[in-house]
Amino acid sequence: MIVLSVNAGSSSLKFTGFRMPVEEVLISGVFERIGIDNSFYTIKINGEKIKKEKDLPNHEVAVKTLLEELVNNHVVNSLEEIGAVGHRVVHGGEKYTDSVLVDENVKNTIKELCGLAPLHNPANLMGIEVFNKILPNVKNVAVFDTAFHQTMPASAYIYPTPYEWYTEYGVRKYGFHGTSHKYVNSKISEILGRKDLKVISCHLGNGGSITAIDSGKVLDTSLGFTPNAGLMMGTRSGDIDESIIPYVIAKTGKTLAEISNDLNKHSGFLGVSGVSSDSRDISEGIKNGNERCILAEEIYERRVVNYIASYYALLNGVDVICFAGGIGENAIDVRASIMRKLSCFGVELNEQANNIRGEVQRISSDNSRVLCYIIPTDEELMIARDTYNIVER
């Protein structure tokens, strides 16, 4: 069966085509600047990356172009070979604890939840509706970023605010990056041959989160009501004292919306360093002695270590710490520094093993009391797996 994993943004459409259940990647790519001038798309097939400029006035044209590429590149002989389409949907609220087959009720619920993810859910829903229109006989599956975290106990997801904020307005911790954390937990369980692992999954990238997992169930995660919680990120502040907000409004005369924009788009690595939101640029700045880049890295590592330490206690010990995401998979020095700061828990680094990027690798020494692994995440594959399993039930 051919399964498409799709992530529709407001002006983009990312996709990967898999042959399931063997999980063979057949084609991947991204359509960019949809509805904007100078639109184009890139596809990768047979190891070759091809960029094409094309007028993409809307997502329907992008999807039709995608399907043409599938046929022209002999990924399928006819569109009837497409068995299902899996869609990333950022927010499933409390209702969805797993991926689901899309029907009208599901679409209505995704629409109702747009208030909790106004930048993402409307685009995700649009992607579903376009595929529904063009391929009406193909099943669609919604794979929610929030679903994996719905095993958290109330003590983890309820904020100590007026309880009515939760009951009346849905204010609670939801967590995100769930598809990535689910994949990481699945992969390390497969590697170690155990389903009862206590895992701390570190998805460290431009966006980042850390999740405590016990036997496949999430006990807590660092992202909260929105994706601007927990860790410092590329442009997001993560956790701050909320009283900063009215104080800065009074000092600057900025609106609440402007302050929110500052915290989401001008903070984190970018805000502290004044250089870049990209950790690679921060590393370069550190090499050049840039004190603000050094400070940004120190703040980042401190927050990562604090969450890992907290979750170590929550889990009452941990079997394995996993590093995923752009920083987790590729930033050799950052991983090493984090692991050294965890030495009080018996974590010990294997320097030689850690000198690698983007590959599955154990990076803890033989004497380490906690296993540490690089687990390159694969959210597209996780979407395809869930989609295949649901339509084959």
User: Active-site residue numbers?
Assistant: 145
Nearest to 308 by CA among 361, 230, 235: 230
- Phi/psi zone of residue 164: left (φ > 0), alpha (ψ -120 to 50 degrees), beta? alpha
Could you please report the per-residue DSSP string of 119-160? TTHHHHHHHHHHHHHHSTTSEEEEEETTGGGGG--HHHH--S
Q: Could you tell me whether strands 198-204 and 208-214 are parallel, antiparallel, or unpaired per DSSP bridges?
A: antiparallel
- Residues 306 and 353: beta-carbon distance below 8 Å: no
Tokens of 298: 């120190």
Other C-beta atoms closer than 10 Å to the C-beta of 202 total 28
Q: Which residues contact 209 (CB under 8 A, 6 or more apart)?
A: 175, 176, 177, 181, 203, 221, 222, 223, 230, 231
Q: Could you tell me whether strands 82-89 and 48-53 are parallel, antiparallel, or unpaired per DSSP bridges?
A: unpaired
SS3 217: strand
- Phi/psi zone of residue 267: left (φ > 0), alpha (ψ -120 to 50 degrees), beta? beta
DSSP for residue 185:
H
Half-sphere exposure of 211 (CA within 13 A, CB side): 34
SS3 258: helix
